[in-house]
Structure 1
Amino acid sequence: MAMSDADTKTSAEKPADSANRKPHLYLVDGSAYIFRAYHRLPPLTDPEGTPVGAVYGYTTMLWKLAQDLDDADGPTHLAVILDKASRSFRHDLFPEYKANRPPPPEDLVPQFPLIRDATRAFSLPCIEEEMLEADDLIASYARAATRKGWDVTIVSSDKDLMQLVGKCGDADDGVDGGCVDMLDTMKNARIDIPEVQEKFGVLPEQLGDVLALMGDSVDNIPGVRGIGPKTASKLINEYGTLEAVLTAAPDMKKSKMKENLIEHAEMARLSRELVQLKEDCDLPMELEDFALDGIPPDPLAAFLSKHGFTSLLKRLGNGAGSPARPTELDPAKAENAAADAVEGATRQPLPEWPKIDLDAYECVQSVERLDAWIERAFAAHAVAIDTETSSLDAMRAELAGVSLALGPNDACYIPLGHGSDDMFAEKPEQIALDVALEKLKPLLESDAVLKVGQNIKYDINVLARHGIAMGPVEDTMILSFDLDAGRGGGGIGQAHGMDSLAETHLGHTTLTFKDICGTGKKQIPFSAVPLDKATRYAAEDADVTWRLWKVLRQRVADEGATRIYERVDRPLIPVVAGMEREGIKVDREFLSGLSSEFGGQIDALEKQIHEMAGEPFTVGSPKQLGEILFDKMGYKGGKKGKSGQYSTDQSVLEGLASQGVDLAARVLDWRQLSKLRSTYTEALQEAINPRTGRVHTSYSLVGAQTGRLSSTDPNLQNIPIRTETGRRIREAFVAEEGNVLLAADYSQIELRLAAHMADVPPLKEAFANGEDIHARTALEMYGEVTRDTRAQAKTINFAILYGISRWGLAGRLGTDADEAQGMIDRYFERFPGIQRYIVATLEKVRECGYSETLFGRKTHFRNINSKNQAERQGAERAAINAPIQGTSADIIKRAMARMMPALRDAGLNDVRMLLQVHDELVFELPEGDVAAASPIIERVMAEAALPSVTLDVPLGIDIGTGKSWGEAH
């Protein structure tokens, strides 16, 4: 089953006795793959504009399966089984069968025939039959194969197919019969008799009776009302069969279950027929035709090329030949098939949603109702989710409940931790936390069901602490950010918060936490809120999230946000969540000592300042400081604001310090030390998590307009980089015993990107040759490289990219505005590409209102054409830098998303990615892994732009290690 020389073993490399192996048939439940693929990958289109996101996902999944099985020397025969249509013979038995299932998404329908083409492109049999479900064909082929003595593996996790697990009967010709097991590729786990027994409490051959009793709301199999999996299993274990249970029902003790068994006996028998797999179907192809002997590359190459799957096409090498099967890749035929599929589909336009009705939501307080919601969520393949907790800190929060939504006003709240801590107080009726989470876990971890949240990273981390690895996910907050960054008012994060988005897109004002829990001394924890009020608040969050997802998701492709959302930001959600959970160890004793040291220096500075001022005053008071500087000491440049007091902000003090005013310089030192002491040496001690002993920062993916991550609670991105004080604070961040910290930093990435994006040959040449870029700039501008000219060149290099004015540059260089303008003019003369880039960028932004990174991230600038000069110039400066800084952010995000898989593939399972600070990634790893991990980290970071963007300059990475973060620099 070899794929290529690069990816798998060829058939020539198989063991010499492979021809004599016992036949082993793999039957792939292709229908289960389709929805997984649809939700896992973006809504891509091929060169002809046909939706192919699910097709691409299905192709990669089939490719991986082929490779994994080939490496494991698994199948001798393989076929993919699909559902031919939505109707089967079971509808004749029960017309309402599967009536609850929603129609497939509109953009998935035209992909169904292409998925069949994908299967045939692999030269694999693609089996489907009218009026039969894939499960029936799988059952019939499994029966036929085991009767011939073959072993069978069903690639699926479908509970209905678990009825087939185990020995399927005696074989013909007196040989031992084959056995059937299952392979769950999502969990990479085999399912055999013990696994079925563990899950359902019965043997596989009894599972049909259990399924008949419990019913299935997804397939609308009625079952017996009130009987769930555990009760059904208990009854079958006690009585042996469904019929025995129904026969014994009249003699059971009086109970609601007895009444239901008697009343719904015929429905139970009908349900048994519906779940019974048909094992005697006519076989469309002979088993021998499923033989594997390599995959011919030509049909697969044609398919990949036609649909623009270039990355897969590059992986394809020359495979060994096997009997060619029809690929049905004729373009006209494929186009007609897709058109027919769309025409014949049940197409329902997006309904005009009803207004949000807070009284329509359900409070789920029983296991039976929870099961019903879970089954409906599986059927919908997408569910909005939100958690209610005791804290905004996901690493310390206690779970109060979970809300789900499947449509407008179709939402529920599942209380899990409500009630007073008073042991004598009566708690409201609710499902036990461990029971509910055990029920929810398969849904929240299922690849076939998309989980949608607002800032879902928080929910991921809360649930991860309860052993649930939620995915795949989408985030309405990030969708909004990738579509509308810079458009909204207020703070950046606030513009993409749920309250703001609900007002903007739904015209709805949401309940607030204050509405439910109160404020001040009267505020109560959410767990103490009565369930009726809690349900209205929590379920509304899920309902609003579901609606926002529908509104925002359909804009992504139309507005060109697919690439940035699907390839940069969405993949980063679980990565950043994982980093937050890892945290980083901080040396409390070192911080305490540093804090005391800073306190002494602050006191000494304050004493100097008072001596310079000639009197004591409150140094931290801007009013008192202004009066000392401008009234008493008479320094020039004092300006009063509307409040009537002098401004003493940093720029004012820096201006005075540059003029030789020592008091201003000392106040700047005092402010910095005071801020570092309160923000880091004191606050970091309080931030140490008592459970983990580590500090867990929170990263926002929407906190910076350019797309950079921002760090809060605590903020680890504002520690001074180039000062001795900043380095000493970094020494407090340490590795665990036996480990080291590794810091990998992009070297001058924004200058490298500017050289590429502005097309500056001298700078590109300097980077390609590994030169000192600031020295090269000094040489270009001044004709010589000295300490002074290099320092000036370094300042100018970075300042120009931020759209600095002549006055701003003059302030940084300590010169006058005319001389600074002369330097700017000389810079543009030597590097005209930079000036052309600035002009072109501003022209585009003025015309369309937004800038764009190399990866398509759009940042909008509302004030770019403002009549207010200060507003307009501020927008212009930001617009000049946004494409460069944003591209830098995109690149490091892509590196982060690829990093851990690359390290795991290399067997480096103990390397952990802890922090992202601007252009730097910080890892913790065993000291013995440094030599192996360093080149992988460097390669992933250096190649992060590829294949989407090919840069004209190399990305340089500096790597250092040490016992502390400071030592690693």
Structure 2
Amino acid sequence: MAPSKSDRPHLYLIDGSGYIFRAYHAMAYGGKGRAPMTRSDGTPIGAVFGFSNMLMKLLRDLEDGEQPTHLAVIFDAPGKTFRNKIYTEYKANRPPAPEDLRPQFPIIREAVEAFGLPSIEMDGYEADDLIATYTRHARENDWQVTIVSSDKDLMQLVDNHTDMFDTMKNVRNSADGVMAKFGVGPDKVIDVQSLAGDSVDNVPGVPGIGIKTAAQLINEYGDLDSLLARATEIKQPKRRESLIEYAEQARISRQLVTLDQHIDVAHTIDGFALTAPDPEPLLKFFDAQDFRSLQVKARQAWGGDLPADTLSETVESAEKNYECVTDIAALNKWINASYAAGVIAVDTETTGLDASAADLVGISIATAPGQACYIPVGHGGAGGDLLSEKPDQLEKAVVIEALQGLFTDPAVLKVGQNLKYDISILARAGIDLTPIDDTMLMSYTLEAGLHNHGMDELAGIHLDMTPIAFKEIAGTGKNQLTFDQIPLDKATEYAAEDADITLRLHMLLKPRLAAEKVATVYETLERPLSAVLSQMEREGIRVDVGTLTRLSNEFAEGISRLDKEIQDLVGRPFNVNSPKQLGEVLFDDMGLPGGKKSAKTGAWQTNVDVLEKLAAEGHTIPQKVMQYRQFSKLKSTYTDSLVAQVNPATKRVHTSYHMASTTTGRLSSNDPNLQNIPIRTEEGRKIRRAFVPEDGNILIAADYSQIELRILAHIADIGALKDAFANGTDIHAMTASEVFGVPVEGMDPMVRRQAKAINFGIIYGISAFGLARQLGISRKDAQGYIDAYFERFPGIRAYMDKTIAFGKEHGYVETLFGRKCHIRALVEKNPMQRGFGERAAINAPIQGTAADIIRRAMIRVPAALRQNGLDDLRMLLQVHDELVFECPIGCESDAIPVIQQVMADAASPALDLSVPLVVDCGTGANWDEAH
């Protein structure tokens, strides 16, 4: 770095401990719904990233500005300090560092070393004391000092040669800033703090005196000693009595807040000479932490060779150049640029989030980092004064015709973020989009379980960018505008930025797929599924509104009846929907055993676990409350909402599938969520009966039989289970026979049920407590069942132990297809959270492999149907291990063998499973009947 602009040396002292906590709260949870950042091995690194980013920004800003000559990063040492000897309660109220921050402390020290900066700490002293000592040394040598911190305790050090710099607010504090904060100059800060105390550090001060009053008193009496000596002169009785009674406490507080400027330090300020970071160790450190965006920044600032899979600095540094396209010449210019680029990002703007109903408002395209356009086609909605007249824009049909060739050209790769939505919107507008890449799915393939995969979060993690929030241009609440109501200048900035960021993310994420050996997962399981799911979502499924209405009335009658029965049993009126009132009834009025109060609210807990336990003990009211809640949920979540979600144009409901929301690769659905309809109750099955085919058609439900148990038998190499599946044996009866020593013939159904619970429970790492609650038996008996199971099938325990060990070492477990499922909880120190992580690790390879298999089946089935002349068959739904099709009546006998064959062979040729996959198919005039 260049020498200081001043003739005097200039020392920067960074409050490293303050930086850590600011970085943690800014980055680990982001304040924006951002999930905690973790390294690929599961180690939390949010604070490390934030700290490194803050430190890099400071160094780069200093190069362009003040250019200090010396710099050091100062940290608190762990453990107690000399202040605890003065006052044992010092900092006694401060909670310990968060669990996920503690392992980051040593990594942050490594970061400082990687930057080539001194990292200073000393046992028994806080960072503030070391900063005070080094500040004194600098003053004595006539150096200028800048303390990089927002800590008010350091303001006592400010003078003509020392200022403070709050980098987060970009504010420098000299004596005037201290006066504004404390009402006194820097030389009186200690006196004011001695009176006011500090609740955070548990500095007692004088009760009833805050900063403002303390400043008034010090300004009037000169200093703390004079004030305490003349306390009897103070007119206000309470203030006078407090100062007299707590005078010694004020003196102790002065000892606590006074920084020690005379520590016998091991390092001298001459050793803090600042030079530019050596890029090699810095890039190596960033690479080890997966900080690819920081690698790019470091390369920009200080040179060095980036790893082969890290892209050039243009990904992040490119200037934004966005254009609003409103004439055909400009559109053709961008089309030509797209052909020349070969890889472009595409994004759509619409009137809503429902792909089956939203209208296309505009299309954005990015051809290079920073180079993007927005093509409006549907602006001019009822936007009040914002859009007093329809803006200048091309006709939608003109744009569609112009883009059709580009969007289907195999030589141009179209990149999107959650591109399934855009495929659906463009398809409804008459445009196909192929070939494609999806940055959301790339991120999901690389880092499932580490964070969420929305564009805003990925931009923050990989590009250190904060995209424009929709609410910034559209507002919030009931007055929020739809995109067609947004003025074109704002719309262009927002939409073009989305495409620009997506292209930048693609440039960073795409090379990692091959480098991290997950390209096959992305290419064969993720990318091809987007178009398949888009087609399914557009198909939707018909629901019988009359059936739903009758069910809604039936559930309403049940709710009313149960409410009366519960009130009658209690003997007084109360609100059954109120958990607080219900808890009072169960545990205060009735005195039922086992009640627990919430630590947060103090109210009795009445969740489903509590009610199930009470119901299992034979208590009637909890049983009826559970039935009441079930009816209420079925009515509100399904029978009422499904009617409202019927698309008026198609007369069908169109669920939306989320491809990147689970750790294991399982799909989820919402609006409506069709995967959570209960099928073990008669009421839940009644809801499935409302899902029907169009006239002249029939529904086919194809369901994998016990697929997860089959995968477990293969992965854990359990001979008895594999033989049973190969021979078509009743697996649950066989398990009961093996574990409990009872013959299969004439077996008590209850015994088979217990074996079934163990079989499926083992997949999820069930505990004795969980099995006991599920079967209504003692925990001792449940543990005995589990022990007997592992004794009979020892390979399962070996699989579990091996999987947990692998997960703890690598931070993830893998499916048989190579999908990485990252599980952060495996390294948690909290035993309960770690136990959850271990159970998740046991289950993930099994559930994830099953999810991969059904994804492969969904990708293959449509082509197989077409090849067999079954073009009229439509795949409508995917629910866990089941696919639902709509088929013309009379074609089912031809369709079912094709469907079964494709699904049964879905693992091949990638896997050579040692157990057969069996697919059960049924048909019916409604979903329940087909299932």
Q: TM-score range by the shorter chain?
A: 0.5 to 0.7
Task: Say whether 1:695 aligns with 2:653.
Answer: yes
Could you tell me which residue of structure 2 aligns to residue 465 of structure 1?
Answer: 428
Paired amino acid for 2:400: L
Paired amino acid for 2:446: L
Task: Say whether 1:375 aligns with 2:318.
Answer: no
Matches for 1:323-334 after TM superposition, within 5 Å:
none
| Shift in alpha-carbon separation, 1:354–1:902, aligned structure 2, 3 A | closer
Deviations 1:803-844 (A, max 9, x none): 111111111111111111111100001111111111111010
- Judge conservation of contact 1:359–1:536 (CA < 8 Å) in 2: no
The TM-score normalised by the length of structure 1 is 0.63
Could you tell me which residue of structure 1 aligns to residue 812 of structure 2?
Answer: 850
The CA distance in 1 between the partners of 2:439 and 2:571, in whole Å, is 58
Q: Where do 5+ consecutive residues of structure 1 fail to align?
A: 1-346, 489-494
Task: Say whether 1:768 aligns with 2:730.
Answer: no
Matches for 1:129-208 after TM superposition, within 5 Å:
none
Match of 1:954 among 892, 905, 916: 916
- Judge conservation of contact 1:744–1:920 (CA < 8 Å) in 2: yes
Task: Say whether 1:451 aligns with 2:408.
Answer: no
Q: Compute the displacement of 1:422 (Å).
A: 8.6
Paired amino acid for 2:557: G
Task: Say whether 1:736 aligns with 2:694.
Answer: yes
Paired amino acid for 1:593: R
Name the SS of the counterpart of 1:722 in structure 2. Answer: coil
- Judge conservation of contact 1:358–1:540 (CA < 8 Å) in 2: no
Task: Say whether 1:676 aligns with 2:638.
Answer: no
Name the SS of the counterpart of 2:919 in structure 1. Answer: strand
The CA distance in 2 between the partners of 1:834 and 1:454, in whole Å, is 40
The CA distance in 2 between the partners of 1:813 and 1:517, in whole Å, is 53
| Shift in alpha-carbon separation, 1:949–1:592, aligned structure 2, 3 A | same
Q: Compute the displacement of 1:348 (Å).
A: 13
Q: Compute the displacement of 1:764 (Å).
A: 0.4
Could you tell me which residue of structure 1 aligns to residue 623 of structure 2?
Answer: 665
Paired amino acid for 1:888: A
The CA distance in 2 between the partners of 1:754 and 1:514, in whole Å, is 47
**Identity of matched residues, %:** 56
Task: Say whether 1:438 aligns with 2:401.
Answer: yes
The CA distance in 2 between the partners of 1:426 and 1:610, in whole Å, is 60
Paired amino acid for 1:406: T
Task: Say whether 1:754 aligns with 2:754.
Answer: no
The CA distance in 2 between the partners of 1:704 and 1:914, in whole Å, is 21
Deviations 1:412-448 (A, max 9, x none): 1111111244999422211111101110111111222
- Judge conservation of contact 1:744–1:957 (CA < 8 Å) in 2: yes
Deviations 1:150-172 (A, max 9, x none): xxxxxxxxxxxxxxxxxxxxxxx
| Shift in alpha-carbon separation, 1:515–1:804, aligned structure 2, 3 A | same
Could you tell me which residue of structure 2 aligns to residue 933 of structure 1?
Answer: 895
| Shift in alpha-carbon separation, 1:771–1:685, aligned structure 2, 3 A | same
Task: Say whether 1:596 aligns with 2:559.
Answer: no
Match of 1:392 among 350, 353, 360: 353
Deviations 1:823-882 (A, max 9, x none): 110000111111111111101001111010000111111121211111101111111100
Name the SS of the counterpart of 1:571 in structure 2. Answer: helix
Could you tell me which residue of structure 1 aligns to residue 572 of structure 2?
Answer: 615
Deviations 1:668-687 (A, max 9, x none): 11111110111111100001
Q: Compute the displacement of 1:349 (Å).
A: 8.9
719-728 vs 579-588, which deviates more? Answer: 719-728
Paired amino acid for 1:691: A
Q: Compute the displacement of 1:559 (Å).
A: 1.0
Match of 2:584 among 623, 627, 639: 627
Could you tell me which residue of structure 2 aligns to residue 512 of structure 1?
Answer: 469
Number of residue-to-residue matches in the alignment: 617
Paired amino acid for 2:331: L
| Shift in alpha-carbon separation, 1:934–1:671, aligned structure 2, 3 A | same
Could you tell me which residue of structure 2 aligns to residue 222 of structure 1?
Answer: none
| Shift in alpha-carbon separation, 1:884–1:628, aligned structure 2, 3 A | same
Q: Compute the displacement of 1:402 (Å).
A: 0.5
Paired amino acid for 1:505: H
- Judge conservation of contact 1:585–1:735 (CA < 8 Å) in 2: yes
- Judge conservation of contact 1:585–1:694 (CA < 8 Å) in 2: yes
Matches for 1:337-376 after TM superposition, within 5 Å:
350-353=311-314, 360-376=321-337
Could you tell me which residue of structure 2 aligns to residue 79 of structure 1?
Answer: none
Match of 2:509 among 552, 569, 575: 552
The CA distance in 2 between the partners of 1:592 and 1:794, in whole Å, is 36
516-525 vs 789-798, which deviates more? Answer: 516-525
Task: Say whether 1:655 aligns with 2:613.
Answer: yes
Match of 1:646 among 604, 607, 624: 604
- Judge conservation of contact 1:361–1:410 (CA < 8 Å) in 2: yes
Q: Compute the displacement of 1:457 (Å).
A: 0.4
Name the SS of the counterpart of 1:923 in structure 2. Answer: strand
The CA distance in 2 between the partners of 1:737 and 1:512, in whole Å, is 45
Paired amino acid for 1:619: V
- Judge conservation of contact 2:315–2:507 (CA < 8 Å) in 1: no
Q: Compute the displacement of 1:463 (Å).
A: 0.6
Task: Say whether 1:727 aligns with 2:685.
Answer: yes
- Judge conservation of contact 2:903–2:919 (CA < 8 Å) in 1: yes
Matches for 1:302-321 after TM superposition, within 5 Å:
none
Task: Say whether 1:408 aligns with 2:347.
Answer: no
- Judge conservation of contact 1:360–1:409 (CA < 8 Å) in 2: yes
Q: Compute the displacement of 1:585 (Å).
A: 0.4
The CA distance in 2 between the partners of 1:744 and 1:348, in whole Å, is 43
Paired amino acid for 1:589: G
| Shift in alpha-carbon separation, 1:357–1:521, aligned structure 2, 3 A | farther
The CA distance in 2 between the partners of 1:925 and 1:453, in whole Å, is 33
Could you tell me which residue of structure 2 aligns to residue 880 of structure 1?
Answer: 842
Paired amino acid for 2:660: V
Name the SS of the counterpart of 1:880 in structure 2. Answer: helix
708-717 vs 444-453, which deviates more? Answer: 444-453
Name the SS of the counterpart of 1:361 in structure 2. Answer: strand
The TM-score normalised by the length of structure 2 is 0.65
Paired amino acid for 1:666: K
Could you tell me which residue of structure 2 aligns to residue 574 of structure 1?
Answer: 531
- Judge conservation of contact 1:739–1:924 (CA < 8 Å) in 2: yes
Q: Compute the displacement of 1:894 (Å).
A: 0.1
Q: Where do 5+ consecutive residues of structure 2 fail to align?
A: 1-307
- Judge conservation of contact 1:706–1:885 (CA < 8 Å) in 2: yes
Name the SS of the counterpart of 2:826 in structure 1. Answer: coil
Q: Compute the displacement of 1:786 (Å).
A: 2.0
Task: Say whether 1:892 aligns with 2:892.
Answer: no
- Judge conservation of contact 1:741–1:965 (CA < 8 Å) in 2: yes
Match of 1:903 among 859, 862, 865: 865
The CA distance in 2 between the partners of 1:554 and 1:903, in whole Å, is 35
Name the SS of the counterpart of 2:827 in structure 1. Answer: coil
Q: Compute the displacement of 1:370 (Å).
A: 0.5
Deviations 1:46-77 (A, max 9, x none): xxxxxxxxxxxxxxxxxxxxxxxxxxxxxxxx
Could you tell me which residue of structure 2 aligns to residue 146 of structure 1?
Answer: none
Q: Compute the displacement of 1:722 (Å).
A: 1.7
Q: Compute the displacement of 1:520 (Å).
A: 2.1
Q: Compute the displacement of 1:967 (Å).
A: 1.1
Match of 2:445 among 456, 475, 482: 482
Could you tell me which residue of structure 1 aligns to residue 594 of structure 2?
Answer: 637
The CA distance in 1 between the partners of 2:570 and 2:310, in whole Å, is 74
| Shift in alpha-carbon separation, 1:745–1:803, aligned structure 2, 3 A | same
- Judge conservation of contact 2:350–2:360 (CA < 8 Å) in 1: yes
- Judge conservation of contact 1:564–1:855 (CA < 8 Å) in 2: yes
| Shift in alpha-carbon separation, 1:622–1:820, aligned structure 2, 3 A | same
- Judge conservation of contact 1:358–1:536 (CA < 8 Å) in 2: no
Deviations 1:501-554 (A, max 9, x none): 000000001100001111124322221211111111000000000011111111
The CA distance in 2 between the partners of 1:951 and 1:905, in whole Å, is 26
Q: Compute the displacement of 1:954 (Å).
A: 0.6
| Shift in alpha-carbon separation, 1:647–1:348, aligned structure 2, 3 A | closer
Name the SS of the counterpart of 2:806 in structure 1. Answer: helix
Q: Compute the displacement of 1:358 (Å).
A: 7.9
